[in-house]
Amino acid sequence: MSVDGEPLLASIFEERAEYLSKDELSEWTAVTQADRATLSKLKGPGAKLLIGPRGSGKSTLLRQAYFEIQDEGKHLPIYVNYSKSLALEPLFHKTANALQLFRQWVLLKIALGAAQSLKECQRGVPEGLAEMTSNASAYIKQMEAGAVVDFPDNYTTPTELLHALQAWTEEAGLKRCVLLLDDAAHAFSSEQQREFFEIFRELRSRTIAPKAAVYPGITSYSANFHVGHEAELVECWYRPDGEDYLTVMREIVSRRIPQTLLRRLKGRDELIDYLALASFGLPRGFLVMLSQLLGVEEDESHNPTRSLADKAIADHASSVRQIFSSLAEKLPRYRRFVELGSVLERGSIRQLQTFNSGRSSRSKATVIAYPEPIDSKLSRMVSMLEYAGIIRDAHTVSRGVKGVFQRYTIHYALLVESNALGLGRSFSVTDIISALSTRDAHAFSRVSPSALLGSDYADRCTLDLLPCQNCGAPRFSEDAQFCMKCGRQLRSASIYEELIQTPIEKLPLTEKKLNGLLHHTAIRTVNDVLMDEENVQIRRVPHIGPVWSSRIRRYAEEFVSV
């Protein structure tokens, strides 16, 4: 849809690449030299894991690779999105064969992706593939709705699918099959994750090249899966301290923003750079802040100002923290890790604030350093902060007799929002840009985690496991099947069923959209959004059309995945 020849504004600011068409992705995406190297690995042979925090552009690269492979016409690309995986999690509490059903779901989605890709490449769908996928869509839909189903008539195994993929690729006259598995592994419960990586291992051959998008920190690999050996790790995250960073982000603006809005940004290049740096190399966050700066989110067009940019950055900082804190609900066994992680993050920012106070703009630090060795509990905590994009690994450095330190860069929006750059009470946008762009790359502040968390943090950083439902005795491990005191079988609560009862206030909705839903519909929980077939209730809200109603549903779907 378009208005006066321009694309509908809300669709322009769609942050998730999996919902963009081939033309939109090509027209709106800026590809860097680093992206080209990553795309080459995604399109080439061998197993790869594309790792990065939320909003770092993993889906964009996978979709870009998919379309480029199709256009080149030499290989068969198969794109599969597993974002609804957590909807299958309740099955693990209802049926003994949940793992086998989950395996079928993973494999059948790949088969459906193969059929779709062959059709898009204008190649025939082999009879065996047509037979395998004849009832696959209905089966997958039932499972994602939480229904307990029987095994499909065309039950398959990873080995059988591997051989079939090789045959279908050869029959189509193509050399290699590339599996591009989006929202993979990180979106599953730990039991599902381990099973997924067993499947991933088995779907490798000389002519089958699997690639999967994963998050740092929360992905559980199977006992037989060794990262680096089984699959190469490929980083996906723009570096805000890179030489061409601002150039790339400006190109995103020029490609994505229509002329009607670009005219309003004329002469305000410093605000674009301000938001680009505050996004910390995460394109999704950059787009959200841009839309807020221009008034698109609330359908109120206005001229961009410094105060609006400051508010967009503050809201983005809050959103990043919310992503991290939500892990306490989505991964309840790590609740205490999340609580202490928040303390670590805020304490590290205060440490940088003190360090930067009185230093010149060219010697500001955005990096915190913890002394090696880092224990396993702190490592888990830090990895979860990486998942949310709050910190980024800046590698180790040796300071001779002072020791070896593991460095982490703190999200720029958090530093700006808390004035941790030590710029004083009154500073300009140019001052912030200069401090972040021309800072001393070797400057960092050292601090011991125990100084921020307390010397007993390791004792407090324990798994939060449900006690026995029969006698109340604590569990001794998350893998325990029976109570050590009464001998009864232990049950686990369904994370998915708890998440769908979350109030809609937890979704990243603008104030007007939220109030509209509360006043004009009966929608109160995430489940209410998911159960609103065809978005009938949501569309009753004034000023919510097809684009925004779809976006609200996507927010709900994303909330119930990790």
Question: Residue 458: its pLDDT value, please?
Answer: 87
Structure tokens at 251: 């190109």
Q: What ranges do the domains of the chain cover? A: 33-235, 327-460, 500-559
Q: Are 156 and 132 in contact (CB under 8 A)?
A: yes
Give phi and psi for 255, each to the nearest 5. Answer: -80, -35
The closest of 345, 284, 328 to 28, measured between CA atoms, is 284
Q: Are 292 and 315 in contact (CB under 8 A)?
A: yes
pLDDT at 294: 86
In a 3-state reduction of DSSP, which class is residue 500? coil
All residues at 6 or more sequence positions from 8 whose CB lies less than 8 Å from its CB, including other chains: 1, 2, 547
* CATH classification number, 33-235, choose in 1.20.81, 3.40.50, 2.40.128, 3.10.450: 3.40.50
Residue 116, C-beta contacts closer than 8 angstroms, at least 6 positions apart: none
The strand order across the sheet containing 76-81 reads: 76-81, 177-182, 208-214, 48-51, 232-235
CA 48 to chain centre: 17
Answer yes or no: are the C-beta atoms of 463 and 480 closer than 8 Å.
no
- Place domain 500-559 in its CATH homologous superfamily: 5' to 3' exonuclease, C-terminal subdomain (1.10.150.20)
Residue 243's CB is within 10 A of a number of other CB atoms, namely 7
CA distances from 185 to 81, 215, 280, 320 (A): 11, 8, 24, 21
CA-based torsion, 330, 335, 337, 340: positive or negative: positive
Q: How many Å from the N-terminal Cα to the C-terminal Cα in the chain?
A: 31
CA angle in degrees (0–180, nearest 5) for 532-537-542: 145
Looking at residue 304, the DSSP 8-state letter turns out to be -
Task: Assign 297 to helix, strand or coil.
Answer: coil
Residue 190 to residues 85, 106, 378: CA-CA distances in angstroms? Answer: 12, 15, 20
Quickly list H helices, 178-305: 190-202, 245-256, 259-265, 269-278, 283-293
Using CA atoms, how far residue 210 sits from 57, 196, 202, 296, 447, in Å, is: 19, 12, 10, 38, 41
Find where tokens 């937890």 sit.
Answer: 506
Q: Rounded distance, CA 372 to CA 67, Å?
A: 44
* Neighbour count for residue 81 (Cβ, 10 Å): 20
Phi-psi region of 423 (alpha: psi -120 to 50; beta: other; left: phi over 0): alpha
H/E segment holding residue 48 = strand 48-51
Helix (H) or strand (E) holding 526: helix 526-530
Cβ(469)–Cβ(490) below 8 Å = yes
Q: What is the DSSP letter of 231?
A: B
| Backbone region of residue 280 per phi and psi (left: phi > 0; alpha: psi in -120 to 50; beta: other values) | left
Which helix (DSSP H) or strand (DSSP E) does residue 407 occupy?
strand 404-410
Query: What are phi and psi for residue 446, nearest 5 degrees?
Result: -95, 140
Q: CA torsion sign, 297 to 246 to 423 to 448? A: positive
For residue 215, give every residue at least 6 positions away whose Cβ sits within 8 Å of its Cβ, in sequence order, or none.
51, 52, 53, 54, 185, 186, 387, 562
What distance in Å separates the CA atoms of residue 271 and residue 290, rounded to the nearest whole number?
9
| Global confidence as pTM | 0.83
Q: Can you name the residues that pair with 6 across neighbouring β-strands?
A: 3
The CB-side HSE value for 404 (13 A sphere, CA atoms) comes to 5
Structure tokens at 151: 């095994």
Q: Which residues pair with 410 in a beta bridge?
A: 391
Q: In this structure, are residues 176 and 169 in contact, taking their beta carbons and an 8 Å threshold?
A: yes
**What is the residue whose two structure tokens read 């079939």?**
164
**Residue-level length of the chain:** 562
Residue with tokens 């204008």: 122
Q: Which two tokens stand for residue 71?
A: 């256009």
Which residues, in sequence order, are CB contacts of 97 under 8 Å at separation 6+? 151
Q: Are 345 and 414 in contact (CB under 8 A)?
A: yes
Identity of the amino acid at 279: S
Mean pLDDT by 10 residues, the chain (562 residues): 41 59 74 89 95 88 94 95 84 82 93 94 90 88 80 84 95 95 71 87 94 83 81 91 90 83 85 96 90 74 87 94 88 88 96 91 91 90 92 90 92 95 88 88 90 91 72 65 70 76 88 91 92 89 84 84 68
